[in-house]
Structure formats: C-alpha cells, structure tokens
Structure 1
Amino acid sequence: MTLTQRLRDAILAAFVASALAFPLLGFETVDAGGAMLGIETRFSWIGYAAVIVFFGRLGLMGFFDWWRLRQGRPEPAESKAPAKTDFLTRLGSKADKWLMPALIAFAVILPMLPFADRTVVDLATVVLIYVMLGWGLNIVVGLAGLLDLGYVAFYAVGAYTYALLSLNFGFGFWQSLPLAGLLAATFGIVLGFPVLRLRGDYLAIVTLGFGEIIRIILLNWTDVTRGSNGITGIPRPTFFGIPFTADPPEGQRAFHEIFGLEYESIHRIIFLYYVILVLALVTNFFTMRIRRLPIGRAWEALREDEIACKALGINPTNTKLTAFAIGAMFGGFAGSFFATRQGFISPESFTFIESAVILAIVVLGGMGSQAGIVLAAAFLTLLPELAREFALYRMLAFGAAMVLIMVWRPQGLLSHREPTIRLPPRPKARESGGE
C-alpha cells in the first residue's frame, strides 16, 4: 500500500471517528442547580479523537504491512528451505503433543500454588466454564461448520433443569447432570430439524432466534421459572454426600471434620474448581476421540463441502443433528454446573452476549483447535477482569483487543489442525529392471 493510500485511509478513519465522537463525546450533561440539567460542549475531545484515530490508523497499517511482508518473504532458492512460520503457528502444530498436557498439568496443580487464593481459584473456575462451553460449541462450529448464534439456549436449559429438579424433586447435582445433558441434547435436535436446509447467514439468524425464544420463555413462564426474579437457593454439590458447610445437618460430619482440617470456605471453591475441571477434561477427551470416528470425519466432510459430502454417501441430515445434539449436551452440562456454582440463576444470565462471547472464543482460538479455545477463553475472560479498574472503558478495551487480534490473526490464535486420519504413503514404483 502506497503512502497516499495510507493517508487517504487514515483521513477517512479520522472522519468516521469524528462523526461518531460528535454525539458521544461532544456534549456532556451537567447539574444546573435544582432539578435542572445543562449541556456543556466538549468539541476539543472530538479533535483529540480524530487525531488519535488518524495516527493510530497510520501506525496500524504500517505495522501490518510490515508483518505481512515478513510472513511472505521468500527464502533463497538455493537453500530449498521451507517458508518460515510464526511462533503461534509452530505452537499450534505442537499443541496436541505438549501444549495441552502442559495446560492440563497447570490446571491440576493451580489450587496448590502459593498465589492461588480464593479470587484466583474462583476466576479459574469461570475460565473453565467458558472452556467447556467453547469445546462444546466447537463441535458445531469448528468441526461441522454450522454457525450457531443461539448456543446459550442449551446452557440455559441445563441450568434450569438442575435448578428445578433439585428444588422440586430433591435431585442431587450428580443425579441431575445426565438429565440436564439429555434434555439439552433434545433441544439441540429440536433446533436441528428446522435448519437442515439452511447455511451461512440464514442458519445464524435462525439459531439466534432460537436462543431468544428460550430466553423469552424463561422470562415469561413465571409459574415454573419464576420469571425475572430467578431461582434462588439452588443446592451445592457434595463430595460423595459430605457437605462443605461449617454447621452440617444433624447426624452428618462436614468435610473439614472428616479430614481433620480447620474450616475454610475456600474448600468448597476448590472442590467446585476440580468438578468443572473434570467435566471440561471429559468434554475434551470425548471430542478428541469422536473426531477419529466415522461421525467425526463426517462432520469435517460436511464442513468442507456439503455437496461432496452427499456424493460420498454421507447423510447430511443425521450428521447435522448429531452435531447439534452432542454440542448441546455439553452446553447443558456446563449450565448445570453454572447453576450449582452460582446458587441463583435468572434469564438475565443467558442473553445473546453470552452466545457472542462463546462464539468469539471458538473463532479467536482457531476453528477446530482445542488448545486455541483454552487460550482464547482465558484471554476473553481475564481481560475484562484485569480492566475492571477502568470501568468506563472496560468494554472498549475488550472490543479493541478483539479487533486487534482478529486483524493480526484472522485464522485464530492456534489455527493448525492435525488431520483426523492420514493416508499411508504410496509404495515406491518398481524399477523396470526389477523382479
């Protein structure tokens, strides 16, 4: 890109920024005394915004042009060396060999580390919830190539299933967990049937509508879901029937009494952390195993080309339905854990923004990359927490970071995917003078 083109683009960006900043930054309401409000102008802020965007755009274009030139630089012909790849690409190619085991080992020992206080463990639990949701949605989006913007609906179904079963029928967490997954998978099949003939944007719109339908039902079916008041008093899971309370019910001993420990509330936090860690690892193990089965290869064939998939004799109807059902099942498991961890759920916990964040984790991590989803979930979960001190600009920083990463790595952080199956090498042709 020439310097003239860069200047033209930067001026256009500054003009757009000025137009957006005029109503947002150009005016401020002030107290004019009594019950009156006055308006003050801050037109200088508009100029500052335009200048910052102008030079920022110039700098970004220069940086990314340099980056693309560096990545596409040819090697000397005589060396016959393969083209250089960046660090994240090399990391993605080795993710299954050592990155995932390293991440799992770190997750296992995290609560035992010196800096792992209550806040750290609780935040790590939230990260693992989003990791599990990302791995579940990865089946639908990353493997089967079906764009789903309503995944939060299955999350909500799992949460409300456990809450209602535990409060109305006395079911425990471990009893409700498979039922929550089964009911969420049923809703996945219900969603799958109407969208069998849809692709791309049309599929996204229908799934978005499905997610909103579930949220509106939860909001208005007050006799069952208690509407906007939500459900409170959801029971916590126990350790093989052993509670984590300071004052256990009569005839029972608490966790700290059985193991001879002094009571600390962090014991329950650590237990919940290991519960979601086990659920996430089961999700990952199941996904990695099923990818190598015929149904997993059918998902990937459907993602690459549905017409070719039909030509190979694969039934796209069954393939799509299984992807929706299995992905929804893991969303239901995560929702059930979310309900027991929070102790309170309401429809406000399952808005479209949750679906957008989960989809962003899958896309940002790299479509089909299990390790990439872990990194993306940690990034998108921790960044808003780290920027919490800047409350006014927290979401601005969140959005800007996402834009920068997607411009820098449009294919995702770890875009490398190992082939599900490798063909054996072709045998060498026999020489004409051979046997």
Structure 2
Amino acid sequence: MATKWKAALCWLALAAAGFGLINVLIGVGVIDTFIENMLVTIGINIILATGLNLIIGFSGQFSLGHAGFMALGAYATAIITSAMPTVGGFYLSVAVGIAIAMVVAVIIGIPTLRLRGDYLAIATMGAAEIIRVILNNLKITNGAAGMFNIPALAGWPTVYVMVCLTTLMIVNFARSRAGRAIQAIREDEIAAEASGIDPTKWKLAAFVMGAATAAIGGSLDAVYIQTIAPGNFGIMNSIAILIIVVLGGVGSMTGTFMAAAVLGVLDTVLQSFGALRMVIYALALIAIMVFKPSGLLGRYEVSIRAWLDRKGVNNAASNSNRAE
C-alpha cells in the first residue's frame, strides 16, 4: 500500500512539474503560439488515442468508430457553449457530451460487440457514419455548414489537466478487476467465459469508457479550434487515431503518449513542405512500422510503482547481505 501511494505522489509531482515547466517556457518566450498549438493538438490526440487503446489494446476489440463519439462531444459543447459562453457552460457541455456518448455507445455496443475482428470494425465504422449523417441533417447542428465562432473556453492548461485526468481514469480501470477481466477476454474469450467472466458485459464497459474519453477530446477540440463540421469526423479521423495507437504499441499507454508526441512534432516540422509533407509523413510511418512492427514500445509501460517495488526488493536483499 505504501508503494502504491509513493508511486501516486511521484506521478503527481511529475505532472505538476510538467505544468510548471510549460508555464515557465511560455513566460520566457521559448514556447510561442505555434508550439502551443502543437502541444494542445498532441494533448487532444493523447486523450483520443488512450481511449481507443483501451478498446483495441486491452479488450481486443477492433473499433473504427471513435470519430463518431468525438463528434458527439464536439457538437454538445458547440451547442451548449454557444448558448452559455462561460467556463461553467463549457464543463456542463463536457458532462452532457460524455453522457450522450456513453448512451450511444451502449446502444451501438450491445449488438455490435458480439462480432469479432473485421466484422466489428465494419459495424463500428458504419455506426460512426450514421452519427455523422444524423449530425449532417439536424437543424440544431447547422447541417453540413457546421458551427462557427464557438467560444474559446479552453487553452493548453485545460487540455493538460484533462490529459492527466483521463489517463488516470483509464490506467486505473485497466489495472482494476474490470481491467483484468477485459484483458482475460482479449487473450482467450472462451477460457474467460468458462471462468465466469461475462465477455459482452466487460467489452461493453471498455467500449463505453473509450467513447467517454472520445467525447472529452471532441469537446476540447471544438472550443480550441472554434469551428466544427460533420466532415471533420469521418472515417479518416478514426484511422488517424488508430495510427497513433498502432504506432505507439497496441496495449501500451506509454507508447500512445510517445506516438502522439512524435507524430505531432513530425506534422509540425513538415508544415513548411506543403503538399509534400503528407508524402514524407507517410514514408516515415512506413519506415517505423517496417523496422518496428510492434510499435515504438510494444506493450511496454513505464511504471514507477514497479520501479519502487524493485528498489524495495534490492534494498531488502542488500540489508540481508549486510546482516549475514
């Protein structure tokens, strides 16, 4: 128990140090608006990709519908903050977006999560397209024209805090009894069911939580970019999030952070290349996957708790040797 709390305090200290460092770098001018935009984009991508990694990497369900849940959060925030342009209105919109995404995830998940592999991917992709088409034809969402002049109610500090909170929520879920259940289903669904685990129940739990994080990412994207349209939430957006998960390592939250950062920096550096940047970007992805097919980190996780446990064992062994 002591090790658990020490690890939690270490992560809290690191998060606080990161927040303070970014503040200092902005204050001295090292981080300008361009780099700040990059950091915000990376943060939103981390939120989206960690949620998808929970679905794909931990529960083993191949979903291509993440952009649909992102759209629900984005439109909920756009509509509510346009009527209530306050910080309170923003957080209310985030809560509403999460609730809507979770309800829709349950409706979609109950029939589709009985499928596997490519069939599940096609079903979730179809569900996301249904969401996009509905948003494209509603009067309240302004149809295909989308929504503009959304109040700018979130900057990098809000995104940073949301990254920390969503990561904490997902990691704790993955390490909980529910997390062990979905990982057992991923490894062998028949054996897990024979052990008394309800596959549909736990796969649905992971799917719903992933949808909730996608809604958070959509809400942040809406108030930061200040413009959204149904075309922003198509299949290519789901694939872009999937690329981050696969590149970092399916099942590795640390890898997701690294991949989102690498791709964010790469995309920013290549801005000056114009249309050629997409070719270079694609070649870089191909090279990484050829030489590192399991992703940048595979399933490796940076764990302060494991490090503290090893340190405690080593100290105990050292003390024992001295006593002898």
Closer, same or farther: CA 97–307 of 1 in aligned 2, 3 Å:
farther
Closer, same or farther: CA 306–419 of 1 in aligned 2, 3 Å:
farther
| Contact 2:54/2:174 (8 A) holds in 1 | no
Closer, same or farther: CA 414–333 of 1 in aligned 2, 3 Å:
same
Question: Could you say what the CA RMSD is over the residues aligned between the two structures, in angstroms?
Answer: 2.6
- 2:57 is matched with 142
1:379, distance to aligned residue in structure 2 (A): 1.8
More helix by share: 2
- 1:205 is matched with 122
Post-superposition CA distance 1:205-239 (Å, at most 9, x none): 11111111111222222x121112111222232xx
The CA distance in 2 between the partners of 1:138 and 1:229, in whole Å, is 32
Identity %: 37
1:101, distance to aligned residue in structure 2 (A): 7.5
**1:40-59 equivalent positions in 2, closer than 5 A:** none
- 2:176 is matched with 293
| Contact 1:159/1:336 (8 A) holds in 2 | yes
Q: Where does the alignment leave 5 or more consecutive residues of structure 1 unmatched?
A: 1-95, 238-270, 423-435
1:359, distance to aligned residue in structure 2 (A): 0.7
The CA distance in 1 between the partners of 2:64 and 2:9, in whole Å, is 32
Matched, 1:416 2:299: yes
- 2:67 is matched with 152
- 2:281 is matched with 398
**Amino acid corresponding to residue 359 of structure 1 in structure 2:** L
The CA distance in 2 between the partners of 1:169 and 1:129, in whole Å, is 23
Post-superposition CA distance 1:93-150 (Å, at most 9, x none): xxx9999986874454124214111111121011100011111111111111111111
1:168, distance to aligned residue in structure 2 (A): 4.4
- 2:185 is matched with 302
1:167, distance to aligned residue in structure 2 (A): 2.7
Closer, same or farther: CA 319–419 of 1 in aligned 2, 3 Å:
farther
- 1:355 is matched with 238
Matched, 1:177 2:94: yes
**Amino acid corresponding to residue 213 of structure 1 in structure 2:** I
- 1:240 is matched with none
Post-superposition CA distance 1:264-320 (Å, at most 9, x none): xxxxxxx61010111110011111211221111111111111111101100011111
> TM (normalized to structure 2)?
0.84
1:204, distance to aligned residue in structure 2 (A): 0.7
Secondary structure of the residue that 1:313 maps to in structure 2? coil
**1:13-412 equivalent positions in 2, closer than 5 A:** 105-106=17-18, 108-113=20-25, 114=28, 115-168=30-83, 172-221=89-138, 223-237=139-153, 272-412=155-295
- 1:78 is matched with none
1:403, distance to aligned residue in structure 2 (A): 0.8
1:177, distance to aligned residue in structure 2 (A): 1.4
- 1:261 is matched with none
The CA distance in 2 between the partners of 1:196 and 1:142, in whole Å, is 15
